[in-house]
């Protein structure tokens, strides 16, 4: 695979990033099989792996660490902090207290002495961003972390963090991890342009929109709401937005067929075409799923094809608001003005 610059860090990463969320009890609980999938991805040219402390409560990090024994130096390794690891209210969030403890746990589980990209999994409305950036800056200076990033930050939150970094002379976030797909295009209106203005980039998650763009479903074969690891509300066929998605999926499938490629290949080729996207996170649970995704890096989409996509799903449109991850904290009832 041709490697791409990770923002302005000088680091080069593959256009596909192996997401490890499905390794562990939440997805594939066969550790040996998960390790084989990771090795196959590395052998195929992927040099970028993303996980998080909260994925299967640390098991995903353990599996990644096992798989990278003897191969750690060849991989750009990313993980995340923020989400609750247990019921203790202090074992979560963006506080210095929690970051300094949890980074040690992630390093131990990953079996490494440093994390290449340490990301804040969600904005923390209860913690000053200067507090978080101060702790992360110390980790960079200690050599435990190389670069820092965010996930699901809005445009205004990205700008605020950049301002604080400059004013307080702290490390700056260099990446953002948002949801992005043919059906979830909201970040095109603000987040992606903001990243480009600030010299940042993105590694986007859910490029297949949680399975909607895998080619398995359509109007004649809608997904079932109840499935392991799949939020039912995102697949509720009583939701008019999901009915619209089924219609769009059929149209996109027809477009892919006209191009002689699969819908999966079309979906991934689309997201990695955007100049604000460095890498698309793929999250295979099986070897077959990995092999289905890999050919997408060789697909080139013409401007004519992109125009046809825009006719099906308008630029900047997120078809169902249930599919985006912005405003999760701000829109909670206790935070809304009533």
pLDDT one-digit tens code per residue, 137-172: 999 999 999 999 999 999 999 999 999 999 999 999
pLDDT band at 335 (very low <50, low <70, confident <90, very high): low
CA–CA dist 180, 306 (Å, integer): 15
How many residues are listed for the chain in this entry? 338
Q: Pull the structure tokens for residue 296.
A: 């997408």
The label of the residue with tokens 């929690």 reads 98
Instruction: State phi, psi for 201 to the nearest 5 degrees.
Output: -145, 180
Q: Where are the alpha helices (DSSP H) in 143-206?
A: 155-168, 191-197
Assign residue 209 a region (left: φ > 0; alpha: ψ between -120 and 50; beta: otherwise).
Answer: left
Among 55, 49, 111, 37, which Cα is nearest to 78's? 49
- Percentage of residues of the chain with pLDDT beyond 70: 93
- 229 pLDDT above the threshold of 60: no
Among 29, 1, 28, which Cα is nearest to 13's? 1
pLDDT, tens digit (0-9, with 9 covering 90-100), for 40-99: 999 999 999 999 999 999 999 999 999 999 999 999 999 999 999 999 999 999 999 999
The answer to whether residue 55 is catalytic is: yes
CA–CA dist 205, 23 (Å, integer): 16
Those residues whose C-beta lies under 8 Å from the C-beta of residue 335, and which sit 6 or more positions away, are 125, 329
Q: Give the number of other CB atoms < 10 A from CB of residue 304.
A: 8
State residue 250's pLDDT score: 96
State residue 330's pLDDT score: 59
Q: What is the pTM of this model?
A: 0.94
State residue 323's pLDDT score: 83
pLDDT band at 238 (very low <50, low <70, confident <90, very high): confident
Among 83, 79, 133, 137, which Cα is nearest to 108's? 79
State residue 333's pLDDT score: 66
Q: What is the mean pLDDT of the chain?
A: 93
Sign for the CA dihedral angle at 183, 247, 228, 36 comes to negative
State residue 176's pLDDT score: 98
- 231 pLDDT above the threshold of 90: no
Please give the span between the terminal C-alpha atoms of the chain, in angstroms, as a whole number.
Answer: 52
CA–CA dist 222, 209 (Å, integer): 14
State residue 328's pLDDT score: 60
CA 96 vs CA 112, 119, 139: distances in Å: 21, 14, 10
State residue 225's pLDDT score: 63
The answer to which of 166-175, 190-199, 229-238, 268-277 has the lowest mean pLDDT is 229-238
- 264 pLDDT above the threshold of 80: yes
**55, 118, 180, 205: the active-site residue:** 55
The answer to which of 8-12, 21-25, 66-70, 228-232 has the lowest mean pLDDT is 228-232
The label of the residue with tokens 């895998």 reads 214
- 190 pLDDT above the threshold of 70: yes
Three-state DSSP class for residue 299: coil
- 113 pLDDT above the threshold of 90: yes
Question: Element (H or E) spanning 201, and its range?
Answer: strand 201-204
CATH annotation of 4-335: 3.20.20.100
Question: How does DSSP classify residue 318?
Answer: B
Where exactly are the structural domains of the chain? 4-335
- 337 pLDDT above the threshold of 60: no
CA–CA dist 119, 147 (Å, integer): 9
Strand pairing report for 115-120 and 76-81? parallel
Using an 8 Å Cβ cutoff, are 96 and 102 in contact? no
Q: Mean pLDDT highest for which of 6-10, 210-214, 243-247?
A: 6-10
Using an 8 Å Cβ cutoff, are 264 and 297 in contact? no
């Amino acid at each position: 695979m041709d490697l791409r610059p990770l923002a302005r860090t000088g680091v080069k990463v593959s256009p596909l990033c192996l997401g490890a969320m499905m390794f562990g009890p939440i997805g594939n609980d066969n550790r040996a099989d998960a390790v084989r999938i990771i090795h196959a991805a590395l052998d195929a040219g992927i040099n970028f792996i993303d996980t998080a402390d909260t994925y299967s409560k640390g098991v995903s990090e353990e599996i990644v660490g096992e798989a990278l024994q003897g191969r750690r130096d060849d991989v750009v390794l990313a993980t995340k902090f923020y989400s609750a690891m247990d019921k203790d209210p202090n074992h979560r969030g963006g506080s210095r207290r929690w970051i300094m403890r949890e980074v040690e746990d992630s390093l131990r589980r990953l079996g490494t002495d440093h994390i290449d990209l340490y990301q804040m999994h969600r904005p923390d409305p209860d913690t000053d961003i200067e507090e978080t950036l101060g702790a992360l800056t110390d980790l960079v200076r200690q050599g435990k972390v190389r670069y820092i990033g965010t996930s699901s930050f809005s445009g205004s939150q990205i700008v605020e963090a950049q301002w604080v970094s400059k004013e307080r002379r702290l490390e700056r976030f260099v990446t953002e991890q948002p949801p992005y797909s043919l059906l979830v295009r909201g970040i095109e209106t603000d987040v992606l342009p903001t990243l480009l203005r600030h010299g940042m980039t993105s590694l986007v998650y859910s490029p297949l929109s949680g399975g909607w763009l895998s080619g398995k479903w359509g109007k004649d074969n809608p997904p079932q709401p109840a499935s392991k690891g799949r939020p039912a509300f995102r697949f509720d066929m009583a939701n008019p937005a999901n009915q619209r998605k089924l219609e769009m999926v059929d149209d996109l499938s027809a477009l892919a067929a006209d191009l002689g490629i699969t819908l999966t290949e079309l979906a991934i080729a689309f997201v990695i075409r955007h100049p604000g996207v460095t890498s698309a996170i793929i999250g295979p649970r099986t070897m077959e799923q990995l092999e289905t995704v890999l050919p997408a890096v060789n697909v080139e989409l013409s401007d004519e094809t992109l125009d046809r996509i825009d006719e099906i799903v308008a630029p900047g449109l997120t078809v169902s608001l249930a599919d985006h991850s912005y405003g999760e904290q701000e829109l909670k009832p206790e935070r809304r003005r009533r």
